[in-house]
Structure 1
Amino acid sequence: MISRIRRSELATPASSEKMLAKAPGIGADLVFMDLEDACAPSAKAQGRANIIKALNEYDWGDTVRAVRVNGLDTIWCHDDVVEIVSAAGHNLDVIIVPKARSARDVWWFDVLLSQLEAKIGLTHRIGLEVLIEEAEGLGNAFDIAAASPRLEAVILGAGDLSASLRARVDTNFQPVRSYPGDFWHHARSTIVAAARAAGIDAIDYPFPNYRDEEAYRRNCDAASMLGFDGKWCIHPSQVPIANAVFSPTPEEIEWANTTRDAYRAAESSGTGAIAVNGMLVDAAHMRHVETTLNRAQRRLPDGNGHQ
């Protein structure tokens, strides 16, 4: 699997040429051009044409280029994939699959992409990300996450999932009445665990209230503490917040480096547990050290974070 940086995934309506033109310069790690919820039925065909133009003509730099196609149960899905990959597959990194209900849904996209890649002679494999946003999909999250070697990330889709669960939430996908703790804790934990078991990334749900930047930051913090790699951004103002929250802090990096060096020095003399600044450190802590330093490495500003 290709390792990509995914702190921020910016949604951009495929129906808006103006927004598509601005998207490469906003600073998001990944931009997905949206043919599903952001495009009315009458605008989907033109949306495909806009995406093809954006992929083939715009300078995306290190930004990961993605497209969210329409769902497998719609009349647009097949044409979305075939037309865009055939015309711009050389410049496309990822396809985002909405409303995945089972591993079979992922298999369908995998097979179709394999056929198209062979037909047009692509020199790279197009990756997949899948949205878990149906009750059936949440129940099958572990099978879905392991369904294809081209799958790179699992995304929690709180909007449709809350509707599928018949949850009583507001337009920001938060409970309409007092609720103890994080309303989305179970779904979040399930997505993270499924992603980690499959060795892929986990991306948190969109936060529609883009004017409340502090609330978005708190929401990012909660997801980051659980282990998510990034979060969707529905507005450019959310991008720098997500990029900051899902990056290790200088203090975390310093702790990881100090702890690693001290542990290696002790390990060379046969010691398996040591004290660092008054805290016991053993092999379990080294896994946290490795996670922190790997995240830091993927976020270096010299381009190593984008592969």
Structure 2
Amino acid sequence: MTRKTKRLRRVELATPGSSEKMMAKAAASKADMVFLDLEDAVAPKEKVAARQKIVEALKGLDWTGKTRCVRINDLQTEWAYEDIIHVVEHAHAHLDLIMIPKVMRATDVEFVDTLLTQIEKKLKTDRRIGLEVLIEEVDAMIHVEEIAKASSRLEALIYGVGDYSASQGIDLASIGGPNGYPGDIWHYGRHKITIAARSAGIDAIDGPFGNFNDAETYSEECRRARLLGMVGKWAIHPAQIDPALQAFSPKQADVDAAREMIAAYSEAERQGLGAITFKGEMIDAATVRIVRNIVEKADLIGM
């Protein structure tokens, strides 16, 4: 399946939509993507007012080089549909993505897609807002393959381990550090989400890590996610931006080697060869396919 819009998602910075100060700092940060939050980071009594604060931040701040996203409230709440209508109608040209929390099934994504289509028709624009969804309920994990292919707007699946833990009954003590589990407690979920995302031609993103003072463990969680094919991770605090950028950016030496390998294999193909020796190792089409992922990420970064 053809990949959707390609964006850098090495780090997605969570930012409360009720705080003008934090949104200004987010716009000036090094994060690839910033999502302005209307859900968990905003108290119920502040949710309606936060919509307009987000609109003003999207239109008034300098977001150069960043993907701009808004996380709406859960579709089962009273706020979700007006979150979409208000933010999109007032800041459509300044917004790239809507993030949908607590998706359960493909129909949840289809609902938001339909509403966005109606708004864009009203605005008479061909510019389409993309979608990201959070996989943070056991029902969502069961239906993740159909969710991943629910809409042509969908660009990424995110593993929301906090709410997911509550949904599955995982103890709070198991989150964010050593827990006695014989292995990586998040391995299955990360693996399943990444497979579903790759099959749909979209990105897989690892979710939040709560202790922003523990850079070592955060970096390890980034490494584990990257090894499975995830392309980035959330940052709940600016202190997590640099570790995520480092973890999900290829090293220049690896990029150079990948490009050299691809060039060598392309020349071999022109000579009718199916496998060649490259710097003492046998490489073939499968090898080149793997390293193309490095080059694709490097191209997005500008390396």
Normalised-by-shorter TM-score class: over 0.9
- Residue 287 of structure 1: aligned partner: 289
2:199 aligned with 1:197: yes
Where in structure 2 are the equivalents of 1:216-231 lying within 5 Å? 216-231=218-233
* Cα-to-partner distance string for 1:92-143 (whole Å, 9 max, x where unaligned): 1100000010000000000000000110123410000000000000010110
Q: Contact 2:176/2:210 (CA < 8 Å) preserved in 1? A: no
**Greater shift after overlay, 277-286 or 149-158?**
277-286
In structure 1, distance between residues paired with 2:243 and 2:179: 27
- Residue 46 of structure 1: aligned partner: 49
Deviation at 1:176, TM superposition (A): 6.7
Where in structure 2 are the equivalents of 1:1-307 lying within 5 Å? 1-170=4-173, 173-174=175-176, 177-300=179-302
Q: Contact 1:168/1:176 (CA < 8 Å) preserved in 2? A: no
- How many residue pairs match? The answer is 300
RMSD, matched Cα: 1.3
3-state SS of the aligned residue for 1:88? helix
Deviation at 1:175, TM superposition (A): 6.8
Amino acid at match of 1:156: Y
Amino acid at match of 1:112: L
**Greater shift after overlay, 56-65 or 67-76?**
56-65
Amino acid at match of 1:288: I
3-state SS of the aligned residue for 2:172? coil
In structure 1, distance between residues paired with 2:157 and 2:65: 21
Q: Contact 2:176/2:211 (CA < 8 Å) preserved in 1? A: no
Deviation at 1:218, TM superposition (A): 1.1
Q: Contact 1:217/1:241 (CA < 8 Å) preserved in 2? A: yes
Amino acid at match of 2:20: E
Amino acid at match of 1:80: D
**Greater shift after overlay, 292-301 or 143-152?**
292-301
3-state SS of the aligned residue for 1:62? coil
| TM-score using structure 2 length | 0.96
| TM-score using structure 1 length | 0.95
In structure 2, distance between residues paired with 1:15 and 1:261: 50
3-state SS of the aligned residue for 2:213? coil
**Greater shift after overlay, 12-21 or 274-283?**
274-283
3-state SS of the aligned residue for 1:37? coil
Amino acid at match of 1:36: E
Deviation at 1:255, TM superposition (A): 2.1
Q: Contact 1:133/1:157 (CA < 8 Å) preserved in 2? A: yes
Gaps of 5+ in 1: 302-307
Amino acid at match of 1:128: L
- Pick closer, same or farther for the CA change 1:109–1:33 going to 2, 3 Å: same
* Cα-to-partner distance string for 1:247-285 (whole Å, 9 max, x where unaligned): 111121122122112212222222111112222111110
3-state SS of the aligned residue for 1:131? strand
Q: Contact 2:177/2:217 (CA < 8 Å) preserved in 1? A: no
Gaps of 5+ in 2: none
- Residue 305 of structure 1: aligned partner: none
In structure 1, distance between residues paired with 2:267 and 2:172: 52
Amino acid at match of 2:13: L
Report runs of 4+ in structure 1 exceeding 6 Å deviation: none
Amino acid at match of 1:49: Q
* Cα-to-partner distance string for 1:157-194 (whole Å, 9 max, x where unaligned): 00000110001233x72477311111100000011001
Q: Percent identity?
A: 46
